[in-house]
Amino acid sequence: MMTQTITAVIRRDRIIIGLAIGIISLLAWIYMVQMAIDSTEMMSMAPGMKSSPEMLWLNIMMWSVMMVAMMLPSASPMILCFTRVTEQQNKSDGVTLKTLVFITGYLSVWCVFSVMASLLQFALSGSGILSLPMVKFESQVGAFLLVSVGLFQWSTLKQACLTKCRSPLSFLLLEWRRGYRGAFIMGVRHGVICTGCCWALMLLMFVGGVMNLIWMAALTVYVLVEKVIPDGRLFSRISGLLLVLTGVGVLITST
């Protein structure tokens, strides 16, 4: 009877976590769709970005929600693995809450990234480098970014971080900490690794357009595929080569 009860609790915890990931991601996407619909208001911020703290805060919120929408699905293998390991360590003791704390730690790192990305967007918009209405680079600057991100896909940092992102159990065994504080720290550490793996890809939003939902969805799918397919490192290098060739092609045709 006790075994059946524990099994039922474990099943319940996994369902709750799965639903939480799905609901949070869905709400983030709904928010981004609404922001895209109201993009006229969002894009009108560009000329006065430096002088408007309210617009800066709005932009930080936009980037933060965008990172939740794009990165939380790709983190689901790690999150669900954390749930399973926590179940094995603690049985039914606070598994759901500890997993939510882990998620909070993970997303907090991407929120920090969002602040930096928003400040970069403000600086670039203030200097006239970004163009309207989608807030993106002009073709030549975008081409250089494509080449740079493509080269980063071949870098040691990218490959090292990607390897850790693709090995949830190995990460948890090496980084395991007890308690809620430990769950938060592990979430932060995974967030740092994930950011190290994907930060350059996220800057590609400046190529396709910050409010371009199709571009956003494509990057979301790419990041997820890169982390879950059998040979993600090869996939990363091939895509990096394609980014470099695309950037060179855009540069040639725009001159």
45 DSSP 8-state letter = T
215 DSSP 8-state letter = H
Locate the domains of the chain by residue range.
2-128+135-254
Full-model pTM = 0.87
Name the packing angle between helices 168-175 and 156-165 (round to 10°): 90
Query: CA nearest 82: which of 104, 94, 98, 68?
Result: 98
At residue 208, the pLDDT reads 78
At residue 135, the pLDDT reads 58
Residue 3 CB neighbour total at 10 angstroms: 7
The tens digit of pLDDT for each residue in 50-98 reads 457 778 888 899 999 999 999 999 999 999 999 988 888 765 567 889 9
At residue 49, the pLDDT reads 46
CB contact set of 204 (below 8 Å; sequence gap of 6+) = 145, 146, 149, 215, 219
Confidence of residue 2 (pLDDT cuts 50, 70, 90): very low
More confident residue, 107 or 10: 107
